[in-house]
Amino acid sequence: MKTIWDKYHYDRKIIDEFLAAFEIKVQGAAEPINWKNTLSKILVWDGFNMDLKYDYSTLIQNRKTGYLKPIAKFIIKFFKKKSHLNDIIFPHTLKQSKILFFLKNRGEAEILLPLLNGLYQKTDFAIVYEHDDTKELYKPFEFIKLNTLSFGEIKIGFGIKKIPNNKSMFVLNNFLNEQANLEKYLSFFTHLKTHNNALKKVVFVAGENKYAANLCHQVFKNTLVKTENLMNGAKYGWPNDADVDFDTWYVWNEKMKLFLNENAKVPAEILKVVGHPLEHQIKNHKYSNKNNALNQFQRQFDIIVTLFSTSLQFEKKFTIYKMVIDFVKQNPKMGLIIKAHQSDKEVSFFNPYKDDSQISFFEGFSKNLLLDIINVSQVTLSFGSTVSFESIWMGVPNISYEEAPKSLLPIEGELFYHINKEEELIPKLQQILNEVDKSKVQSNTMTSVVEKYVDFIVGC
């Protein structure tokens, strides 16, 4: 057991064992639900980011649950006092919109803004989201939070087809952990299907990471309503990209389409190459002057190096972090900005440096702040992420540390540098700072990309 794909294929096998042992009964759904892809999404993330430092054989051994835990959990759920259904709360907007954008986090609206502006005068749409991860209001658009709505309830129960083994019980335990969310999504999309006859499309952002998209497609599978997906980050065709249920998945370029098709077996016919909807906006970003801490810090130094942390875990991660910090500390005219990834669970590594006058640390999600940070930087360092695209588009050299022999990012250009050995880092930083002049890259060609997205989404 050496790779995330080994884990993925093992998970698919134990899902089959679960489905052979249990009958999932959905009370209130009009159509039978195909659960395999949804269950795959539930299992894919535990251990996905462990990478090289994790022993997958240990993980697989742990993917066996005894009978007591899931049975106790099921009994508690069964006897738990049923809540009384409140009056239906389902705004008129949701009953008449032709397009629904369904977001996990409010901040995902960042990638939608150019599209929403283009759609504003062309069609009726609604935006539903689950979590507040930003204070941005994104006016004039209305955002409806899912947990403020009330609608008919769909309940999930189980029947036993044969005596389950401990692998089946492992899947059952994970299913029960997600049962409330599964019921919520099925209830919402079923109510939407019943009460909105004008609906043509449900559009997700990064829906490949969310089983809500799989369930949505299941609910609308025998209707004219299409399920579509917008990318919110670079794609390599990893296991979390597999087992999607979309009618259309919009991708940035042909290389990403190839990765998704060849590696994750996403059908080529649903992958539509359009481009990145924010490229034009990013290329023309003007420093906003809104963050006082950034304003004050960047004025103190002649050179700004920015390190974007990563949520991925790999052997040399902290070594690279420390090398960048030591490099900057050797030059008092140089400042280091550390922008923590919102999903990075190891940011405590930077705690000893937070009071260092040469280092400024930023957390949280804000696309505007991220672009402002790139704007003031002479070079950025990231780890196979979308930041590489954004940095290059803004004319700022980027170093991407990826352990693969060649970068998986489909980027070409003289401002992009891939390294895969720690000893390459400092010479590359020195080379860039000595030889490469930062220059803004302006482009008017990408406005057509937004227009393409608008035309595709409005079209049916």
DSSP string, 8-43: HHHHHHHHHHHHHHEEEEEET-SS----HHHHHHHH
pLDDT at 51 over 50: no
Q: Evaluate whether 91-149+196-284+444-460 and 287-435 have a shared fold.
A: yes
In this structure, the strands spanning 379-382 and 398-401 are parallel
Which CATH code, of 2.60.120.380, 3.40.50.970, 3.40.50.2000, 1.20.120.10, is assigned to 91-149+196-284+444-460? 3.40.50.2000
> How far is 324 from 179, CA to CA, in rounded Å?
44
> How far is 339 from 372, CA to CA, in rounded Å?
11
Cβ-Cβ contacts under 8 Å for 314 (sequence gap 6 or more): 51, 52, 53, 403
Mean pLDDT of 331-357: 90
pLDDT digits (tens, 9 = 90+) for 189-232: 999 999 999 999 999 999 999 999 999 999 999 899 999 999 87
What are the sequence ranges of the domains in the chain? 1-83+155-178, 91-149+196-284+444-460, 287-435
CATH number of 287-435: 3.40.50.2000
Amino acid (one-letter) located at 67: Y
pLDDT on residue 80: 63
**What's the start-to-end Cα distance of the chain, in Å?**
44
pLDDT on residue 292: 94
pLDDT on residue 390: 93
Of 37-51, 143-157, 392-406, the one with minimum mean pLDDT is: 37-51
Cβ-Cβ contacts under 8 Å for 166 (sequence gap 6 or more): 64, 65, 66, 67
> How far is 116 from 127, CA to CA, in rounded Å?
10
Cβ–Cβ under 8 Å, residues 335 and 297: yes
Cβ–Cβ under 8 Å, residues 95 and 197: no
